[in-house]
A and B are shown apart, each in its own frame.
Chain A
């Protein structure tokens, strides 16, 4: 186990280093620059700006400067667009917002998805099965930019029981005050994830239900609920766990569409803005945060596997 962790740790470092390098040169290779606008500026002023942001240095020097700041000071550098803010400051602002919405959405998706999947599997070819499977297909195929406006149309504009997007902080309105602003983003964000998990749980259960050990358990006269929770669920949840890990990294780094439409100051929206603005340092900061999360989550999933599936060995 320890050997496994150490090995994973080093391979993760190499992975992240490769990601940083590729991302750095990729974003710099994209045409356009952070300071261009409809109004061009005099050449001399442009040179002053380049000097201030070290863009006048050769690219490889900038890269090593960047790496140096990152590794030794954990400093992502100043944002090219939001002047005065460091990328560290900005991520500290945006990440918790996406993390909160994403985690809540994921919790809801897991609870609903697993329940729906189980209900479908246990009521095969009955109403419950058809109902939740149609729901799953809908959830997977209807894009977010349709779901969110429909929710807004029904709950905010039609029924007027929820605000039209926006974001409030616990420090201003208290935790209870935040709830109305959370409902639409969380439920719309959880919808596709719920759908995936429903299908996976169902498939997993159908697979396990037919296994010999389940028949044995039945033959021994165990209670139905014991068979379900002790024997079937443990096995059928493995695909869900391997899905939820990376999906969690994805969901907590923010959904572009949900955040953009609802005006939520989270990571997803900012990532896309940063790319459009050629805010090199912010793009890098986002890429690194996202990759770190994926690596960590995959790692967690691999460890969880060992507990759920006795066939997995860390060697």
Chain B
């Protein structure tokens, strides 16, 4: 009797499974992607991360929008723009047919409101400083200035005039950036600044609009028919998952349940690397080790000697790391600014040279590593960082006779200790915010918010400041080159490799390009399924 029941039960389950698979698939053009994590917010003024921006660029549109391949600014809500001779005043002509998905029109006032809101101290937007190129903006955020003094002027309904603190050659490319996107005043006034972007309230002005949001699960977007360029939008639906497990999302991709997903675990790299669905695009980011050069905090004083730092830098075999550990086509780094930065060639300040490294170490008073003590490599817990640290540990031991210890901490503790200069050598990574060397170099100024090394160099600070006011692009790049030369001679940081953006994409996806920011506007993407 019991046996029969069990058999019956199993058969019933199998029937149900078969049934669900037989339910016909609809003919909609649906793009399913894994975004890797739950977005922290969908308020473009508040968001800071890549996963958030990836969604925002589908549902909102700034004055300009990224070209999917080159990232050049394409007309968005702005039809055209002009820049004054001194590079300080930008005048944007807005299109008259831009509107929110509830049909409320978008005009110059919308942008003035949105930008001032992002700057306002009570909004507490982390990326407010992305708008600090605008005159008076920084003071307003810091509570020292007034909103009226910020250089944003509505000339007429569809003309917006922006005055900057200093000529900023990359200002136009920032117009596609999240912090500069418009937000709907009429909705915010009604439901509040913290709730307007939730599913039931949100209105969008991009190619898609949000219709579903299940936290930690998925977000569903559908085509926004009120988008001014809706005729070009081919996908009817975009489903964005928040799955953090890379192995599972890769398996889902392999099973045809996803069109796009990012990352391939290193242990599966060899299998995937050869498939046509695999992509590894150059990325605007650098993986590096930073050295604590704060004399008050560095516990191994040998690291304060530039010769020791140089010896450490020269004795890392980057080609080995890239080919045997990372395996996805990462590029060995001998400069800090990635090589794919348009118009700029990074300063190459050192070569890998074990003999010279040994000599330098001896000159510094530590022949064969004697008397130097041990160096602790500090990294945030991750199998990938560990493998690299272990390889470098081996290299330093073998080539220089230096004992390196490894220490890992969970992400937030790691960040905390880094900021307090409580480490000897720490792993770090930097992803550019915009396509300009400035995003890599201005962080190393004395007491710069992201300069966790304690490094300070007056000439360097002056050069970075000079670049701010230089209008001639060629001269400007030359200044950056000089600055990077100092950075790569003093070596408070050891560049290791340049990131690649690894992802898998189904072959039937068309109109989807790789680019150095890893940003993928889905506006003109379509699927060629049989």
Q: What residues of chain A have their CB less than 8 Å away from a CB belonging to chain B?
A: 30-33, 35-45, 48-49, 51-52, 78, 81-85, 90, 93-94, 115, 149, 152, 156-157, 160-167, 169, 173, 176-177, 179-180, 183, 260-263, 265, 269-270, 273, 276-278
Q: Tell me, in angstroms, the Cα distance from A90 to B217 when the chains sit together.
A: 12
Report the stretch among B17-25, B455-463, B483-491, B508-516 that lies at the interface: B17-25
B325 nearest CB across to chain A (Å): 21
CB-nearest residue of chain A to B255: A164
> In chain B between 485 and 505, which residues have their CB closer than 8 angstroms to a CB of chain A?
none
User: Which listed residue (B13, B247, B430, B449) contacts A183, Cβ 8 A?
Assistant: B13
**When the two chains form their complex, are residues B252 and A82 in contact, meaning their CB atoms are under 8 A apart?**
no
- In the complex, the answer to whether A32 meets B40 with C-beta atoms within 8 Å is no
Query: Which residues of chain B have C-beta atoms less than 8 A from A260's C-beta?
Result: 244-245
Assess the A35–B126 pair: CB atoms within 8 A.
yes
Q: CB distance B23 to A82 under 8 Å?
A: no
Kindly supply a per-residue 1/0 record for chain B positions 408-446, scoring 1 wherever the CB is within 8 Å of any chain A CB and 0 otherwise.
001111011101000000001110000000000000000
B257 close to A265 (CB less than 8 A): no
Q: Give which listed residue, A45, A78, A90, A261, contacts B215 with CB less than 8 A.
A: A90
User: Can you show 5 pairs from A to B with CB atoms below 8 A apart?
Assistant: A42-B129, A48-B141, A93-B215, A156-B251, A166-B252
Q: Which residues of A contact B20 (CB under 8 A)?
A: 173, 176-177, 179-180
Q: Is the CB of A83 within 8 A of B19?
A: no
Q: Is there a chain A Cβ closer than 8 Å to B170's Cβ?
A: no
Are the CB atoms of B450 and A265 closer together than 8 Å? no
Contacting residues, chain A, for B2 (C-beta < 8 A): 115
- Say whether B38 contacts A82, CB under 8 Å: yes
B129 partner, pick from A45, A93, A269, beta carbons under 8 A = A45
B102: Cβ under 8 A from any A Cβ: no
Contact B194 A37 (CB under 8 A): no
The distance in angstroms between the C-alpha atoms of A61 and B311, with both chains bound, is 52
Residues of B within 8 A of A31 (CB): 412-413, 416-417
CB of A298, distance to nearest CB on chain B (Å):
29
B370 nearest CB across to chain A (Å): 35
B16 contacts partner chain A, Cβ-Cβ < 8 Å: yes
B169-200 near A? 1/0 per residue, CB < 8 Å: 00000000000000000000000001101100
Q: Give Cα distance in the complex from A267 to B290, angstroms.
A: 37
- Nearest chain A CB to B159 CB, angstrom units: 30
Tell whether B43 is near chain A: CB-to-CB under 8 Å.
yes
Across the interface, A94 reaches (CB within 8 A) one of B124, B125, B215, B255, namely B215
What is the CA–CA distance of A276 and B123 in the complex, to the nearest angstrom? 25
Docked-complex contact A164 and B248, CB < 8 angstroms:
yes
A84 touches B413 (CB 8 A): no
Q: Which of B16, B198, B251, B449 contacts A41 (CB 8 A)?
A: B449
- The answer to whether B415 touches A37 (Cβ under 8 A) is yes
A308 to B279, CA, bound (A): 63
A98 to chain B, nearest CB (A): 11
A93 to B212, CA, bound (A): 13
Query: Quick check: A83 and B217 within 8 Å, CB to CB?
Result: no
B415 & A82 in contact (Cβ 8 Å cutoff): no
A173 to B23, CA, bound (A): 10
Are the CB atoms of B126 and A167 closer together than 8 Å?
Answer: no
Least CB separation from A39: chain B residue: B450
Once bound together, how far apart are the Cα atoms of A291 and B278, in whole Å? 46
- CB pair B419–A40 under 8 Å, yes or no, is yes
Given the known interface contacts A49-B126, A83-B46, A166-B252, the answer about A44 and B215 at a Cβ–Cβ threshold of 8 Å is no
Q: A83-B46, A162-B17, A180-B20 are known contacts. Are A261 and B248 too (CB-CB below 8 A)?
A: yes
Shortest CB-to-CB span from B450 to chain A, Å, is: 5
B126 pairs with A36, CB closer than 8 A: no
CA distance A44 to B123 in the complex (A): 12
- Chain A min CB distance to B68 (Å): 25
Complex contacts, B320 vs chain A, CB 8 Å:
none
Residues of chain B whose beta carbon lies under 8 Å from any beta carbon of chain A: 2, 13, 16-17, 19-21, 23, 38, 40-43, 46, 48-49, 121-126, 128-129, 141-143, 194-195, 197-198, 214-217, 241-245, 247-249, 251-252, 254-255, 257, 410-413, 415-417, 419, 428-430, 449-450, 452
Q: Which residue of B lies closest to A43 (CB)?
A: B449
Tell whether, in the assembled complex, residue B449 and residue A167 are in contact, meaning their CB atoms are under 8 Å apart: no
Q: Are A39 and B48 in contact (CB under 8 A)?
A: yes
Considering the complex, give the chain B residue whose CB is closest to the CB of A177: B20
Name the distance in Å between B19's Cβ and chain A's nearest Cβ.
Answer: 7
Q: B194 touching A176 by the CB < 8 A rule?
A: no
B16 contact set on A, CB distance < 8 A = 176, 179
Question: Using Cβ atoms and an 8 Å threshold, which residues of chain B touch A81?
Answer: 40
For residue A178, which residue of chain B has the nearest CB? B20
A45→B126 contact, CB < 8 A? yes
Q: Would A48 and B121 count as touching, CB distance under 8 A?
A: yes
Known: A52-B122, A261-B248. 16 other contacts (CB 8 A): A40-B450, A41-B449, A42-B129, A45-B129, A45-B141, A93-B216, A156-B251, A157-B251, A161-B17, A164-B248, A164-B251, A176-B19, A180-B17, A263-B241, A263-B244, A265-B217
B412→A276 contact, CB < 8 A: yes
Q: How far is the CA of A169 from the CA of B42 in the complex (A)?
A: 23
One of B142, B194, B249, B430 near A83 (C-beta < 8 A) = B194
Residues on B with beta carbons closer than 8 Å to the beta carbon of A164: 248, 251-252, 254-255, 257
Contact B19–A36 (Cβ < 8 Å): no
For A38, the chain B residues whose CB sits under 8 A away are 415, 428-430
Chain B residues within 8 Å of A261, by CB: 245, 247-248
- Contact B217 A179, beta carbon cutoff 8 Å: no
In the bound complex, do residue B46 and residue A36 qualify as a contact, i.e. CB atoms below 8 Å apart?
A: no
Of A42, A78, A115, most buried by chain B (CB within 10 Å of CB) is A42
Judge whether B214 and A265 touch: CB under 8 Å: yes
Closest A residue, CB atoms, query B195: A84
> Which residue of A has the minimal Cβ distance to B37?
A273
Query: Are A163 and B450 in contact (CB-based, < 8 A)?
Result: no
Q: How far is the CB of B61 from chain A (nearest CB, A)?
A: 21
Cα distance, A167 to B417, chains bound together (Å): 38
A83 pairs with B40, CB closer than 8 A = yes
* Known contacts A51-B124, A265-B217; A32/B255 CB under 8 A: no
Query: Which chain A residues border B257 with CB–CB below 8 Å?
Result: 163-164, 166
Contact B215 A165, beta carbon cutoff 8 Å? no
Q: B255's contact among A41, A149, A157, A179, by CB below 8 Å, is which?
A: A157
A40 engages B449 (CB within 8 Å):
yes
Q: Give which listed residue, A173, A263, A270, contacts B245 with CB less than 8 A.
A: A263
Rounded to whole Å, the gap between the CB of A312 and the closest CB of chain B is 32
Given the contacts A183-B13, A260-B244, A45 and B124 also touching, CB distance less than 8 Å: yes
* Docked-complex contact B255 and A263, CB < 8 angstroms: no
CA distance A7 to B7 in the complex (A): 49
Do B13 and A152 touch (CB < 8 A)?
A: no
A277 to B141 alpha-carbon distance, docked (Å): 26
Closest chain B residue, CB of each to CB of A32: B412
Rounded to whole angstroms, the CA-CA distance of A115 and B143 in the bound complex is 70
In this complex, which of B128, B255, B417 has the most chain A Cβ atoms within 10 angstroms of its Cβ? B255
B13 → A minimal CB distance (Å): 7
Give every chain A residue within 8 A of B410 (Cβ-Cβ): 32, 276
Q: How far is the CA of A51 from the CA of B49 in the complex (A)?
A: 22
- Among A37, A45, A157, find the residue whose CB has the most chain B CB atoms closer than 10 A: A45
Report the nearest A residue to B193, measured CB to CB. Answer: A84
**Which of A35, A44, A78, A81 has the most CB atoms of chain B within a 10 A radius of its CB?**
A44
B216 touches A265 (CB 8 A): yes
